[in-house]
Amino acid sequence: MFAVPLAENAELRPLEPWQAAEFLAHIDRARAHTDPWIPWATRSTDLASARATLQRYADQQAADTGRIYGIWLDGTLVGGVMFVAFGVESGNCEIGVWTEPAGAGRGLVTAAVRHLLDYAFVIRGLHRAEWWTTSDNAPSRAAAQRVGMKLDGVLREFFLHNGVRHDMEVWSLLAAEWTSEA
């Protein structure tokens, strides 16, 4: 398995179905922090559903249509990043992120997203990366801005989650705009 250093004592690694127990323990710690924004976190409530979430991404990786990676800090899974969608034919991808409180505010998500953008643009030759977030998720919006994304627009009351309609913002970055030092 590979590990990409993100900071001292922090690394980015693939998240795979065999890690379902560790993933579930992490999601349980992260649930209150992520539930307002990430619907799949509410679906990983036991070992079988956590394994199913990771298996879905393993299947997407095998089909080259998505991938999921974990962020480990001092050996503990504290967050992650993913290609929610990865379209080689269209040249577009969507990046998603999450963290539990122990991983927040350390720059780990930003560093991990930079690796995903390098992979998408430099290695795979994609044209556009998107970031979808609710308008009231300030940390997510700030992370999109830190990697150089621009707000494309707002889809009003687009997203129903926990019985509430949320505005959805679409941010993007084009390959021509990308620099890993952004």
Domains of the chain with CATH codes: 4-177 (3.40.630.30)
Predicted confidence (pLDDT) at residue 85 exceeds the cutoff of 90: yes
CA dihedral (107, 112, 113, 116) in degrees, to 10, reads 170
* Interval 156-182: pLDDT, tens: 999 888 888 989 999 999 999 998 654
Q: Is 70 left (phi over 0), alpha (psi -120 to 50) or beta?
A: beta
Q: What is the mean pLDDT of the chain?
A: 92
Cα-Cα end-to-end distance for the chain: 28
Q: Which of 21-25, 35-39, 135-139, 154-158 has the lowest mean pLDDT?
A: 35-39
Which residue from 53, 65, 75 is spatially nearest to 3, judged by alpha carbons? 75
* SS3 category, 88: coil
* Interval 40-83: pLDDT, tens: 677 889 999 999 999 999 999 999 999 999 999 999 999 999 99
DSSP 119: I
